[in-house]
Amino acid sequence: MATAKKQAQTIGELRASGYTVTSVKEELRRNLIQRIQNKAEILPGIMGYEETVIPQLENAILSGQDVILLGERGQAKSRMIRLLVNLLDEAIPVIAGCEISDNPFAPICKSCRDKVAESGDDVAIDWLPREERYGEKLATPDSTIADLIGEVDPIKVAEGRYLSDELTIHYGLIPRTNRGIFCINELPDLAERLQVGLLNIMEERDVQIRGHRIRLPLDVMLVASANPEDYTNRGRIITPLRDRYGAQIRTHYPRSAAHEIGIMDQEHTRFDDDDTSVTVPDYMKEIVAEITRLARRSPDVNQRSGVSVRASIADYESLLANALRRAIRTGEKEVVPRISDLPFLIPTLSGKIEFETVEDGKEDQIVEKLIQGAVVAVFNRHFNVVDLEDVVTQFKAGASAEVSDTLPSKSYIKIVKQVEGLDRAVAKLEPGENVAVIAAGVEFVLEGLHLNKRLNKDESAGKTKYRG
């Protein structure tokens, strides 16, 4: 936007600058086309949707359609909707002091119409930044028409205005997002009478507030999110409203482990710990991602509820936390998660998934099986058990190894020296000279051999002993 246009302070100055007001959908469409032409990222930070969801969303914007994003929890629906704000202009002109960001050239609220009728081109304008052009409401049972559309303001009535005066109205969230993007999260949970009010806003462009019939031609892009279980089984979106949304786009969980890992790396909480260095072996990231992916296929987990990507992120954070706790207690500067840290994911994951009907106390066992399944799956991608027979032979001959999540990393160097062939197995993981990474590799190899039924394992008092 030209600097001269931004400096316009009145309707007259804006008109003289040659500025043209466009609808919000035209604005989104124009800026999307420019991004596509420039090969710029459309939704920064969204992974795994490049070939599926994003093209459909682009088509909806190019078509000028309102959108419903349909998907289970943790599929970045809300995040994508909020990122649409980046497709708006940096700032747009609005009549100064207007509650509903009125178009200076065509105001729709009575207060602004009166201002223009009285002062014409001398009416002051403000420039509204894109960040303030987004509104959002979570559909809850206590949502009201007043929240979404508006209500008569008793204070304005008390000041002496008549109830019949349009100026007594206090506008709700949707009118206040005029010339912007408004999102309703979990749309099926919105009461049917409110959905009817929303229908009027979308189609008839008028509303009734306490007997006031107001013509309100709002310029809003409406976006909604919904869970398939609520959307199809409970069927609580009224048919006329569903028909008004131009596009229904189905989201999904990451379809590759690489995307799941990318999201974990991007989204996990970071802290500035200058006195420690964090290194996470690739296979440990793969295990965390695989746990979630196995949970999404497990018959013991309620698949209608879904297993959010937030489960992977929270598991990854817990894994790093236990590795940090060990490093602090052992006085090490290197923070490297190991297999022995995985049991500490159980309380995290248990709070992120819904189990099918199981006996009390069995939930932890289900999560333990998911963790074991993930470890053996990732191990078998990195190793062929047949190639590790020399290590197995050493254990059959009487060798043993004791590990734990509190054991200092340097103790694992002794294990490597005592068990012939173990050094070559760990070397396949490319640990370099980092002792803590070597320790993690030792645990990975030993646990992988155990889960492939090549080694026995005894657990007691927080320690694990591998033997032949």
In this structure, what token pair is assigned to residue 403? Answer: 């590990």
The single-letter DSSP state of residue 401 is: E
User: What's the rounded mean pLDDT across residues 164-192?
Assistant: 84
3-state secondary structure of 226: strand
The whole-number pLDDT of residue 93 equals 96
pLDDT for 76 equals: 93
CATH number of 3-250: 3.40.50.300
Residue 93 CA to residue 126 CA, distance in Å, equals 6
Is pLDDT at 233 greater than 60 in this prediction? no
Identify the helix (H) or strand (E) that includes residue 353: none
**Which residue, chain included where needed, has tokens 């819904």?**
354
Taking CA atoms, 162 is separated from 113, 165, 397, in Å, by 19, 5, 96
Q: Any idea which of 2-6, 70-74, 433-437 has the lowest mean pLDDT?
A: 2-6
Residue 192 and residue 120 in contact, taking contact as beta carbons nearer than 8 Å: no
pLDDT grade, residue 306 (50/70/90)?
confident
Mean pLDDT over the full length of the chain: 89
Average pLDDT over every residue of 157-167: 56
Work out the percent of the chain whose per-residue pLDDT is above 90: 69
Which residue would you say has higher pLDDT here, 187 or 214? Answer: 187
pLDDT over 50 (residue 1): no
Summarize pLDDT for 440-457 with one digit per residue, the tens.
999 999 999 999 999 999
Read off the pLDDT of residues 397-413 as tens digits, 9 standing for 90 and up: 999 999 999 999 999 99
pLDDT value of residue 7: 79
Query: b or e along 20-55 (b: 16 or more beta carbons within 10 Å of the residue's beta carbon)?
Result: ebeebbebbbebbeeeeeeeeebbeebbbbeeebbe
User: Do residues 318 and 464 touch, judged by C-beta distance below 8 A?
Assistant: no
Q: Which of 465, 343, 451 is nearest to 395 (CA)?
A: 465
Task: Please name which of 135, 117, 329 lies closest in space to residue 224, comparing C-alpha atoms.
Answer: 135
Q: For the chain, what are the domain ranges?
A: 3-250, 257-467
| pLDDT for res 157 | 54
CB atoms within 10 A of CB 159: 10
Phi, psi of 134 (to 5 degrees): -125, 135
Q: What is the pLDDT of residue 389?
A: 94
d(Cα 95, Cα 101) in Å, to the nearest integer?
Answer: 7
Q: What is the pLDDT of residue 217?
A: 83
Q: What is the pLDDT of residue 155?
A: 63
CA distance 93 to 105: 10
Cα–Cα distance measured from residue 26 to residue 21, given in angstroms and rounded to the nearest whole number: 10
**Rg of the chain, C-alpha, whole Å:** 30
Query: pLDDT tens digits, residue range 243-258?
Result: 889 999 999 999 999 9
Q: What pLDDT score was predicted for residue 122?
A: 95
User: What is the per-residue pLDDT for 396?
Assistant: 92
Cα distances from 4 to residues 19, 85, 106, 122, 232, in angstroms, run 10, 24, 21, 17, 51
**Can you tell me the distance from the alpha carbon of 258 to that of 12, in angstroms, rounded to the nearest whole number?**
55
Q: Are strands 400-404 and 456-460 parallel, antiparallel or unpaired?
A: unpaired
116-127 pLDDT, tens digit each:
999 999 999 999
pLDDT at 199: 81
pLDDT band at 192 (very low <50, low <70, confident <90, very high): confident
Q: Which residues contact 300 (CB under 8 A, 6 or more apart)?
A: 355, 356, 358, 366
CA distance 186 to 143: 12
pLDDT, residue 273, reads: 73
Q: How confident is the model at residue 380 (pLDDT cuts 50, 70, 90)?
A: very high
Share of the chain above pLDDT 70, in %: 90
State pLDDT tens for residues 34-74: 999 999 999 999 999 999 999 999 999 999 999 999 999 89
With 0-12 CB in 10 A as exposed, 13-18 as middle and 19+ as buried, what is 113? middle
Range among 126-135, 142-151, 169-178 rated most confident: 126-135
pTM value is 0.86
Question: Above 80 in pLDDT, residue 315?
Answer: yes
401 bridge partner residues: 466
pLDDT of res. 369: 95
CB 100 within 8 A of CB 167: no
Tokens representing 288 are 């965390």
Nearest-angstrom CA–CA distance, 280 and 296: 24
Tell me the mean pLDDT in the region 192-216.
71
The residue behind tokens 């695989």 is 290
Task: Report the candidate in 345, 257, 53 with the shortest Cα–Cα distance to residue 353.
Answer: 345
